[in-house]
């Protein structure tokens, strides 16, 4: 692989990293948001793999989700929910089922428990629906939902074999994609009256932003230097 090609690929990787960092910084205060990790190959990997390898194979373009927990914040609201133990709540949207570690719900005009974006909280039997007041609802650590003495059902919670491969749907919710899941019966706990803060650390992201920006500038100089060298070589060749 030529120096020109290596520098160009490294700059593309830096642009992708900057997009990821920007997304993380924009969601520092989003409840339940999980930091996106960039797992693209480093510049040194390009050099190490330059022999006999196609450009598309030299730079992995995958990203993963950091599912480490964020800090819990007590709200006292019965439909502010956090799943502990690595589980996820299941929500229904017009685009399909999505999953969240933490979300806040309200009852809409039809009595469905919905997020601000309109995603409907799911029981094992379907949508959670209650025609009374949200203050009447109680969710126990096993995910059972009660309205006074009446049982409305149990929240559907799931686990993923590798949650890092989930696809972000925005606002701290995720599409399963090709991730393998199982029902999380007995392996997770639900905490009501809490929200989970984003696990993004702004200082860490700012450091990565500066590092990536400087690396991009360095690759620009390599690119420009190679271009100038090529131009001089062509000019000298024409003088011969």
Statement to judge: residues 47 and 159 lie in one domain: no
> Which parts of the chain have pLDDT scores under 70?
1-4, 39-62, 223, 227, 237-240
Statement to judge: residues 131 and 213 lie in one domain: no
Measure the CA–CA gap between 169 and 183, rounded to whole angstroms. 21
Statement to judge: residues 98 and 178 lie in one domain: yes
Statement to judge: residues 19 and 86 lie in one domain: no
* pLDDT number for residue 93: 95
Count of the separate structural domains present in the chain: 2
For residue 146, give its domain range: 72-196
pLDDT one-digit tens code per residue, 14-38? 888 888 899 899 989 888 888 988 7
* pLDDT number for residue 91: 98
* pLDDT number for residue 12: 81
Statement to judge: residues 192 and 117 lie in one domain: yes
Statement to judge: residues 132 and 215 lie in one domain: no
Statement to judge: residues 117 and 227 lie in one domain: no
Statement to judge: residues 34 and 86 lie in one domain: no
Statement to judge: residues 138 and 113 lie in one domain: yes
pLDDT one-digit tens code per residue, 47-56? 445 544 544 4
* pLDDT number for residue 3: 65
Statement to judge: residues 191 and 205 lie in one domain: no
* pLDDT number for residue 129: 95
Measure the CA–CA gap between 19 and 135, rounded to whole angstroms. 41
């Amino acid at each position: 692989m030529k120096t020109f090609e290596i520098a160009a690929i490294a700059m593309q990787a830096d642009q992708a990293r900057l997009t990821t960092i920007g997304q993380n910084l924009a969601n520092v205060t989003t409840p339940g948001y999980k930091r996106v990790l960039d797992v693209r190959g480093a510049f040194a990997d390009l050099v190490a793999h330059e022999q006999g390898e196609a450009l598309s194979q030299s730079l992995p373009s995958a990203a993963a989700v950091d599912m480490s927990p964020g800090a819990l914040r007590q709200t006292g609201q019965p439909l502010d929910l956090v799943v502990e133990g690595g589980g996820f709540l299941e929500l229904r949207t017009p685009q399909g089922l999505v999953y969240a570690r933490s979300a806040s719900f309200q009852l809409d005009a039809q009595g469905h428990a919905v997020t601000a974006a309109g995603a409907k909280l799911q029981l094992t039997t379907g949508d959670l629906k209650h025609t009374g007041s949200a203050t009447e609802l109680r969710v126990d650590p096993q995910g059972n939902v009660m309205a006074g003495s009446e049982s409305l059902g149990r929240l559907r919670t799931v686990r993923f074999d590798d949650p890092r491969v989930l696809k972000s749907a925005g606002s701290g919710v995720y599409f399963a994609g090709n991730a393998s899941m199982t029902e999380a019966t007995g392996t997770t706990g639900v905490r009501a009256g809490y929200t989970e803060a984003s696990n993004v650390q702004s200082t860490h992201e700012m450091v990565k932003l500066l590092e990536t920006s400087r690396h991009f500038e360095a690759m620009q100089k390599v690119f420009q230097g190679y271009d100038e060298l090529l131009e001089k070589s062509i000019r000298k060749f024409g003088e011969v």
